[in-house]
Amino acid sequence: MVIIFMSFSCKKKNNTMIKDVSPDTTSKKTPDFQLLQEKKDSFDLNIFKNYLNKTVFKEKNNVFSAKQDTLLIEDWMLRNKESNTYYFLITNSKNIMRYEFDNTKINIEILHITTNSNHKVNELFSYIQMKGKNNSSVDSTPGLTYENDYVFIYENSIYWLNSPCLVSYKNHLLLSNFLRKMISQNSNNVTNELFCECGKVKCEN
């Protein structure tokens, strides 16, 4: 989150802001984890990380690490991303939490975009959907990022999962399904899904 539009895989990381989360931190209630709880974020990055390591990518010597930070306007200014889209998301949302999962081969990213109202969350999703489905001569990037993307609304939040083309679309869908169930706890409150496959010109609902 280079091609004109958002590219999650080729990005500069602001290491001063990213906090490592080890498998032990959830039980010890570290300040970082307490902050995550206080924000009432329904996403548990350690659960998702364990799913990656034990279910989808079973490589004992190449496990994923997990990190989280808050996306700020400075990130948009420093990164090689399509300015209008990234700027629009940051300036029109209440908060954007970024979760990154890395091993030596793959970087997977989830954005949790929170808003103040149902109207605002639908406005942001419509903008993302427009970018993913209506490619123009100005922004000729296939899909959203050229890579695999899955975006959905849950209550007043948007969750955006990005995985590189090294991840098969079948595995990307497994991750998408797990994320959706994890956030919604198998409820029917997930709405307005958007699916983007690596290299495909347009995303689909």
Whether 9 is covered by a domain: the verdict is: no
Separation CA 8–CA 55 (nearest Å): 23
Q: What is the pLDDT of residue 62?
A: 76
Whether 182 is covered by a domain: the verdict is: yes
Whether 104 is covered by a domain: the verdict is: yes
**When comparing pLDDT for 1 and 197, which is higher?**
197
Whether 10 is covered by a domain: the verdict is: no
Whether 153 is covered by a domain: the verdict is: yes
Write the CA distances from 145 to 10, 109, 186, integer angstroms.
Answer: 11, 12, 28
Whether 5 is covered by a domain: the verdict is: no
- Sheet-wide strand order for 95-102: 19-21, 65-70, 95-102, 107-114, 157-163, 148-154, 190-196
Question: pTM for the whole thing?
Answer: 0.74
Whether 2 is covered by a domain: the verdict is: no
- Given a cut of 60, whether residue 197 has pLDDT beyond it is yes
Q: What is the pLDDT of residue 191?
A: 82
- Highest mean pLDDT (candidates 57-61, 66-70, 179-183): 179-183
The closest of 144, 141, 115, 142 to 127, measured between CA atoms, is 144
**When comparing pLDDT for 129 and 27, which is higher?**
129
Q: What is the pLDDT of residue 58?
A: 74
Under 8 Å between Cβ of 95 and 106? no
The per-residue pLDDT for range 28-59, each reduced to its tens digit, is 333 333 333 334 456 788 899 999 888 788 77
**When comparing pLDDT for 71 and 67, which is higher?**
67
- Given a cut of 70, whether residue 177 has pLDDT beyond it is yes
Separation CA 32–CA 18 (nearest Å): 11
**Cα 120 to the center of its chain, rounded Å:** 19
Whether 111 is covered by a domain: the verdict is: yes
The residue segments making up the domain with residue 91 are: 19-196
**Mean pLDDT calculated for residue range 178-190:** 83
The per-residue pLDDT for range 113-161, each reduced to its tens digit, is 999 999 999 999 998 998 888 765 455 678 888 899 999 999 899 999 9
Q: What is the pLDDT of residue 60?
A: 67
Percent of the chain exceeding pLDDT 70 equals 66
How many folded domains does the chain comprise?
1
Separation CA 165–CA 87 (nearest Å): 25
